[in-house]
């Protein structure tokens, strides 16, 4: 049997199954179609990912139906999905599901259906009242189980099971096709209205209708809603005019625009400065060349990167191509969207987690159909179905939010580069604080470096002062910061107080030397566990309960941890009259939470903003002239080799919020480690030298980008099952290790994950490390196969995180 269809399902276990195409569907069925197929006793929706020859010994089932009018993807797109599936070691079905959010209006409902036998028995007396009622209801139409439970009192699963076992009803699967297409009535005049004589008689005889007709004539193709707006209730008139052949009524699809009420400024865009022009020239050449050309656009905060993006997009559009812009979810502000709409009009799709399924569906179809040429969105929009993207932009490329922390664990930043390779596009990774990986790629000449070293407006970078907290008797707010906060409030300027709370669990810090206690094997801060009073390493599993004093100098250790509420209290003591607001995940909830806070800040209603990571993100707040960093060190000591990089990025970004307007900004950084090079580099906003130093360190310690990591995660409700599975996997891994060159693969752990228990589930992890990407993938493939064959408890979930960004 040749050319059977390969059908993939969005389930974690399998890749795909083969199905036979019935003669009736042969001419319709294509790659990229969704199909309805039988699987076991049920039916399911699957994606056709290709055609091929199945193994000879299996008996194929037939495809029941083709569900899409047009295929969802073509061969080229498929090669992208395939890459993502291979690289991130996730079944293709899960990737396809991620790429087609919300099922694009297609769902399968489990329903209960009456059988022939059931129908025959309807009149007889062998049924009790509940059974009879159920059968009666089902004889009219099949119903979902929940509907039955709701409709007929006394229905239980036991009752239903009894009916099923007596073959009176059966379970079936009904397709639920939601139509998301929104249409509106458009009205135009007919040929009859061109007859002048007729019209002049008409206007005398029926003046009201003639007025409406005149309006339609002058505005051709008028939406019905507009007529209602002008003339009030016109339904009777429209009906009459239509019936008498004066007008034509047509239904046309409209594109919903969730940002339609956005105020768009009509300010003239600035003329690019010399640096921006240089960057644009390089990008422009690459766009004209129509080949894969990746760039890093490294520009300090406020250097005008977005301006360069906007011009580059225009160039790609001029070439008849499309543009995809990825931004971290949090920076999808109306401000940014407004800037894009101002330049490119309304044919832009904005994709984020807050939009409805129907809006998403609209965008998806119009991108695929070519009506929409620009999409801006968070990580998952890397799947936007453009057929000819000429430019792909990843703004704030260093942001961790490009990585999906649940399965499939993909990284949209890295996928953007692959997408660019497949579609021969320009890819711009932009940041004020590039990631170590991206910077390292510029040194290897895999990515070209473009720099914007100065702020675009007249404003200069802020002045930075480092405050040694050890001399301040460990006060939350130092005397210097207090002084500046008062001064800034009195001069009616705004301040930001930033709490670096990236560490999730406590660490122990030495009172004397300010260093966090580190693991002797791993160069990673140990986490302090109050329960059990022990320190642990989440890389190698070290667990120490006798510690007491600093390994280095022998002084006393203290637990480290403060919250935003505590800071708010302190500030209110210092400045009781100031309006203080908090921006953190607990405070800023819902769709409009951030927007409201943002508007209050812009309207100068807030004097002091206290916040965590959220305040560091790309906000442009010209009124802010002072930024205080409460504790620069906190994120330095989290148990992660990227701690230094994250700290540098956070401090540099938050410092960049100061002095973006006319007045010069000031930044005060409180720290227990004033001599720490990360803090010093951040204070100088010196990315390049930070990156160079960090690269040396990573190389010496054997961390990415010099090695590749894969984190195998184990999650389950029973602690002993989870740990046993992790240990069993380790022993499987050790066996496979024998097939690889000595020392080419290292296995670390297994150990408890730093967040050992989340929502009552226990978590363990096993880290695989190698200098060779091919080897580590080969190894992991072998391990995955061994895991599939091993008889693991089914309630422990094993997931594979390739290039992990966090080790929580
Ligand atoms: P970034 O994306 O690097 O943070 P933006 O593009 O948002 O920078 O620019 C920061 C500010 O500078 C914005 O208010 C922008 O309008 C302004 N700007 C950008 N380029 C120029 C320029 N060439 N001349 C004057 N102002 C500019
Ligand atoms: Zn360790």
Answer whether 276 contacts ligand 1 (Cβ < 6 A).
yes
Looking at the chain, the whole-number percentage of residues with pLDDT higher than 70 is: 90
Q: DSSP state, 1?
A: -
- The three-state secondary structure class of 398 is coil
For residue 304, report the distance from its CA to the centre of ligand 1, in Å. Answer: 4
Q: Which atom of ligand 1 is nearest to the CA of 308?
A: 6
- The three-state secondary structure class of 19 is strand
Q: CB within 8 A of 229, min separation 6: which ones?
A: none
Q: Which atom of ligand 1 is nearest to the CA of 303?
A: 3
Answer whether 454 contacts ligand 1 (Cβ < 6 A).
no
- Residue closest by Cα to atom 20 of ligand 1: 304
For residue 307, report the distance from its CA to the centre of ligand 1, in Å. Answer: 6
CB 659 within 8 A of CB 666: yes
E strand or H helix that includes residue 261: none
CB 259 within 8 A of CB 336: no
Cα separation of 330 and 333, whole Å? Answer: 7
- Residue closest by Cα to atom 21 of ligand 1: 456
Residue 287 sits at the vertex; the CA angle it makes with 284 and 292, to the nearest 5 degrees, is: 130
Answer whether 456 contacts ligand 1 (Cβ < 6 A).
yes
- Residue closest by Cα to atom 24 of ligand 1: 270
C-alpha 110 chain-centroid distance: 30
- The three-state secondary structure class of 156 is coil
Q: pLDDT tier at 373 (50, 70, 90 boundaries)?
A: very high
For residue 456, report the distance from its CA to the centre of ligand 1, in Å. Answer: 5
More confident position, 147 or 178: 147
Q: Is the peptide bond before 717 cis (omega within 30 degrees of 0)?
A: no
pLDDT tens sequence across 694-710: 999 999 989 999 999 99
Check residue 501 and give its pLDDT: 60
Answer whether 695 contacts ligand 1 (Cβ < 6 A).
no
- The three-state secondary structure class of 236 is helix
Residue found by looking up tokens 């936007």 in the block = 384
Does residue 423 register a pLDDT over 70? yes
Q: pLDDT tier at 719 (50, 70, 90 boundaries)?
A: very high
- Residue closest by Cα to atom 4 of ligand 1: 302
- Residue closest by Cα to atom 23 of ligand 1: 272
Answer whether 305 contacts ligand 1 (Cβ < 6 A).
yes
Answer whether 272 contacts ligand 1 (Cβ < 6 A).
yes
Q: What is the DSSP secondary-structure string of 312-368?
A: HHHHHHHTT-EEEEE--GGG--HHHHHHHHHHHTT-EEEE-TTS-HHHHHHHHHHHH
Integer-rounded Cα radius of gyration of the chain: 31
Closest by CA to 300, choosing from 439, 432, 435, 430, is: 432
Q: Are strands 426-431 and 389-395 parallel, antiparallel or unpaired?
A: parallel
Ligand nearest to the CA of 754: 2
Check residue 602 and give its pLDDT: 80
Q: pLDDT tier at 575 (50, 70, 90 boundaries)?
A: very high
pLDDT tens sequence across 431-464: 999 999 999 999 999 999 999 999 888 777 888 9
For residue 659, report the distance from its CA to the centre of ligand 1, in Å. Answer: 14
Does residue 240 register a pLDDT over 70? yes
Ligand nearest to the CA of 306: 1
Tell me what the mean pLDDT of segment 64-76 comes to.
91
Q: Which atom of ligand 1 is nearest to the CA of 276?
A: 23
Q: Are strands 322-326 and 389-395 parallel, antiparallel or unpaired?
A: parallel
Q: DSSP state, 411?
A: B
Q: pLDDT tier at 352 (50, 70, 90 boundaries)?
A: confident
Tell me what the mean pLDDT of segment 708-720 comes to.
94
Give the 3-state DSSP-derived string for 586-642, with helices as H, strands as E and coil as C: CCCCHHHHHHHHHHHHHCCCCCEEEECHHHHCCCCCCCEEEEEECCCCHHHHCCCCC
Residue to substitute in 298, 303, 304 for testing ligand 1 pocket (most ligand atoms within 8 angstroms of CB): 304
- Sign of the CA dihedral with 84 first, then 88, 91, and 96 last: negative
Helices 305-318 and 274-289: angle between axes, nearest 10 degrees = 30
For residue 642, report the distance from its CA to the centre of ligand 2, in Å. Answer: 15
Answer whether 273 contacts ligand 1 (Cβ < 6 A).
yes
Answer whether 303 contacts ligand 1 (Cβ < 6 A).
yes
CB 416 within 8 A of CB 354: no
Answer whether 578 contacts ligand 1 (Cβ < 6 A).
no
Answer whether 302 contacts ligand 1 (Cβ < 6 A).
yes
C-alpha distances in Å from residue 219, one per residue of 11, 201, 247: 53, 22, 13
Q: Exposure of 532 by Cβ count < 10 A (0-12 exposed, 13-18 middle, 19+ buried)?
A: exposed
- Residue closest by Cα to atom 11 of ligand 1: 302
Which residues are paired to 757 by β-bridges?
Answer: 762
Q: Which atom of ligand 1 is nearest to the CA of 618?
A: 4
Q: What is the pTM of this model?
A: 0.81
- Residue closest by Cα to atom 26 of ligand 1: 457
Mean pLDDT for all residues in the chain = 86
pLDDT tens sequence across 528-556: 766 567 777 766 777 877 666 776 677 77
Q: What is the DSSP secondary-structure string of 491-551?
A: TT-EEEEE-----SS-EEEETTT-PBPB-TTTSSBPEEETTTTEEE-TTT--EES---B-T
Answer whether 698 contacts ligand 1 (Cβ < 6 A).
no
Reading the block at residue 173, the tokens are 């699967």
Q: pLDDT tier at 474 (50, 70, 90 boundaries)?
A: low
Residue to substitute in 307, 460, 654 for testing ligand 1 pocket (most ligand atoms within 8 angstroms of CB): 307
- Residue closest by Cα to atom 16 of ligand 1: 270
Cα separation of 437 and 422, whole Å? Answer: 21
Describe the strand order of the beta sheet including 34-39 as a list of residue ranges.
61-62, 17-20, 4-8, 42-52, 34-39, 65-66
For residue 531, report the distance from its CA to the centre of ligand 2, in Å. Answer: 20
Cα separation of 309 and 423, whole Å? Answer: 19
For residue 535, report the distance from its CA to the centre of ligand 2, in Å. Answer: 11
pLDDT tens sequence across 191-230: 888 888 888 888 888 888 888 888 888 877 788 878 887 8
Tell me what the mean pLDDT of segment 662-678 comes to.
89
Residue to substitute in 456, 621, 623, 654 for testing ligand 1 pocket (most ligand atoms within 8 angstroms of CB): 456
Closest by CA to 413, choosing from 334, 333, 326, is: 326
Check residue 263 and give its pLDDT: 60
Check residue 764 and give its pLDDT: 94
Closest by CA to 11, choosing from 107, 96, 121, 105, is: 96
Answer whether 656 contacts ligand 1 (Cβ < 6 A).
no
Q: pLDDT tier at 316 (50, 70, 90 boundaries)?
A: very high
Looking at the chain, the whole-number percentage of residues with pLDDT higher than 90 is: 46
Answer whether 277 contacts ligand 1 (Cβ < 6 A).
no
Check residue 215 and give its pLDDT: 85
For residue 645, report the distance from its CA to the centre of ligand 2, in Å. Answer: 20
Q: CB within 8 A of 605, min separation 6: which ones?
A: 579
For residue 522, report the distance from its CA to the centre of ligand 2, in Å. Answer: 4
Q: CB within 8 A of 776, min separation 6: which ones?
A: 708, 710, 745, 768, 769, 770
> What are 11-15's contacts with CB under 8 Å, separation 24+?
11/91, 11/93, 11/94, 12/91, 12/94, 12/407, 13/91, 14/91, 14/93, 15/91, 15/92, 15/93
């Amino acid at each position: 049997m040749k050319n059977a269809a390969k059908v993939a399902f969005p389930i974690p276990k399998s890749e795909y199954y083969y199905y036979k195409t019935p003669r009736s569907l042969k001419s319709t069925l294509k790659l990229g179609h969704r199909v309805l197929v039988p699987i076991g006793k049920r039916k399911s929706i699957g994606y056709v990912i290709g055609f091929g020859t199945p193994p000879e010994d299996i008996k194929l089932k037939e495809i029941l139906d083709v569900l899409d009018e047009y295929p969802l993807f073509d061969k080229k797109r498929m090669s992208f999905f395939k890459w993502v599936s291979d690289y991130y070691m996730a079944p293709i079905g899960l990737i396809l599901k991620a790429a087609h959010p919300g099922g694009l209006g297609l769902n399968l409902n489990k329903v209960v259906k009456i059988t022939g036998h059931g129908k025959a028995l309807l009149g007889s007396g062998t049924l009790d009242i509940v059974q009879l009622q159920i059968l009666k209801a089902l004889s009219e139409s099949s119903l979902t189980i929940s509907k039955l439970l709701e409709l007929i009192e006394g229905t239980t699963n036991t009752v239903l099971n009894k009916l099923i076992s007596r073959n009176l009803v059966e379970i079936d699967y009904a397709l639920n096709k939601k139509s998301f297409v929104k249409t509106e009535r458009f009205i135009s005049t007919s040929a009859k209205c061109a007859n002048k004589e007729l019209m002049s008689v008409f206007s005398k005889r029926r003046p009201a209708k003639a007025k409406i007709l005149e309006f339609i004539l002058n505005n051709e193709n008028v939406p019905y809603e507009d007529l209602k707006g002008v003339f009030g209730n016109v339904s009777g008139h429209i009906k009459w005019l239509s019936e008498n052949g004066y007008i034509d009524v047509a239904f046309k699809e409209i594109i919903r625009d969730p940002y339609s009420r956005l105020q768009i400024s009509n300010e003239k865009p600035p003329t690019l400065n010399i640096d921006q022009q240089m960057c644009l020239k390089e990008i422009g050449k690459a766009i004209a060349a129509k080949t894969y050309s990746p760039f890093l656009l490294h520009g300090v905060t406020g250097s005008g990167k977005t301006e360069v993006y906007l011009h580059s997009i225009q160039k790609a559009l001029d070439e008849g191509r499309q543009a995809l812009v990825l931004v971290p979810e949090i920076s999808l502000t109306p401000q940014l969207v407004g800037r894009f709409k101002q330049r490119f009009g309304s044919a832009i799709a904005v994709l984020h987690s807050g939009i409805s399924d129907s809006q998403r569906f609209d965008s998806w179809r119009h991108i695929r159909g070519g009506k929409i040429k620009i999409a801006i969105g968070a990580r998952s929009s890397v799947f936007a179905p453009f057929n000819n993207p000429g430019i792909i932009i990843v703004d704030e490329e260093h942001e961790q939010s490009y990585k999906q922390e649940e399965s499939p664990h993909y990284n949209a930043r890295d996928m953007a580069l692959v997408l660019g390779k497949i579609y021969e596009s320009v890819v711009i990774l932009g940041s004020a604080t590039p990631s170590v990986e991206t910077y390292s790629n510029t040194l290897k000449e895999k990515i070209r470096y473009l720099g914007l070293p100065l702020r675009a407006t007249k404003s200069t970078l802020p002045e930075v002062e480092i405050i040694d907290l050890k001399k301040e008797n460990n006060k939350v707010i130092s005397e210097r910061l207090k002084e500046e906060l008062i001064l800034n409030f009195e001069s009616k300027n705004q301040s930001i107080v930033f709490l670096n709370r990236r560490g999730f669990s406590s660490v122990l810090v030495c009172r004397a030397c300010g260093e966090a206690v580190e693991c002797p094997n791993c160069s990673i801060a140990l986490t302090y566990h109050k329960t059990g009073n022990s320190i642990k390493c989440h890389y190698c599993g070290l667990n120490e309960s006798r510690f007491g004093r600093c390994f280095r100098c022998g002084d006393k250790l203290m637990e480290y941890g403060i919250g935003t509420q505590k800071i708010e209290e302190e500030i209110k003591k210092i400045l009781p009259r100031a309006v203080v607001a908090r921006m953190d995940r607990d405070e800023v909830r819902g769709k409009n939470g951030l927007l409201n806070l943002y508007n209050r800040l812009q309207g100068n209603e807030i004097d002091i903003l206290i916040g965590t990571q959220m305040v560091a993100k790309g906000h442009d707040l010209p009124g802010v002239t002072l930024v205080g960093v409460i504790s620069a060190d906190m994120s330095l000591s989290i148990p992660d080799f990227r701690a230094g990089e994250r700290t540098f990025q956070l401090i540099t970004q938050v410092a960049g919020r100061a002095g973006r307007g006319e007045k010069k900004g000031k930044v005060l950084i409180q720290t227990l480690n004033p001599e720490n090079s990360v803090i010093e580099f951040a204070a100088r906003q010196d990315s390049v030298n930070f990156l160079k130093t960090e690269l040396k360190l990573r190389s010496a310690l054997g961390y990415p980008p010099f090695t590749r990591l894969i984190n195998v995660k184990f999650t389950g409700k029973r602690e002993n099952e989870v740990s046993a599975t992790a240990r069993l996997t380790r022993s499987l891994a050790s066996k496979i290790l024998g097939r690889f060159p000595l020392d080419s693969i290292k296995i670390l752990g297994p150990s408890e994950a730093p967040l050992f228990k989340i929502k009552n589930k226990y978590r363990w992890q096993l880290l695989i490390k190698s200098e060779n990407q091919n080897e580590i993938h080969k190894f992991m493939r072998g391990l995955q196969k061994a895991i599939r064959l091993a008889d693991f408890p089914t309630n422990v979930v094993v997931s594979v995180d390739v290039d992990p960004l966090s080790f929580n």
